[in-house]
A = this chain, B = another copy of it.
């Protein structure tokens, strides 16, 4: 349950990318989502290695979703950035009880954690895009859902 700024940046960038529906340079996404460009540039390889982003080097290159946004879960994205164990241990941090039932806080937290992880697993990036209609700039909203 260690969700850092990196996770947020990744989600914001991916959401922007999914909203556009086509490849874009990472810098462009960083600018649009108000993320430090150099920091996002370090997250891109993590997402690429996890099979979430497809990258294209060189002029005219950029990043694209490696799979349709419907198939990219928040859980998967979080694990790519924070590591696979991030959602296992309790939100009250790691040692000395990471996922250990003997931890005094385990019985209190674990049911809640399980529900949270289930929610993250079943919520896709597409769902995030769908739920977040920007309040401003509602230019062409008719075919935005079905590109």
Contacts and interface: CB of A to CB of B under 8 A. Distances in A.
Interface of A: 1, 3-5, 7-8, 11-12, 15, 34, 74, 90-94, 96, 102, 104-108, 112, 116, 119, 123, 127-128, 131-132, 134-135
A5 B8 CA distance: 20
Contact of A112 (B12, B108, B116, B131): B116
Given A105-B132, A128-B108, A132-B108, A93 B12 contact: no
Specify how many copies of this chain sit in the oligomer: 2
Contact of A11 (B34, B92, B116): B92
A3 B93 contact: yes
A34 to B, nearest CB: 6
Given A112-B116, A112-B119, A116-B112, A105 B5 contact: no
Contacts of A11: 92, 105
19 contacts: A1-B3, A5-B93, A8-B105, A12-B105, A15-B105, A74-B108, A102-B135, A104-B128, A104-B132, A104-B134, A105-B128, A105-B132, A107-B131, A107-B132, A108-B123, A108-B128, A108-B131, A108-B132, A112-B116
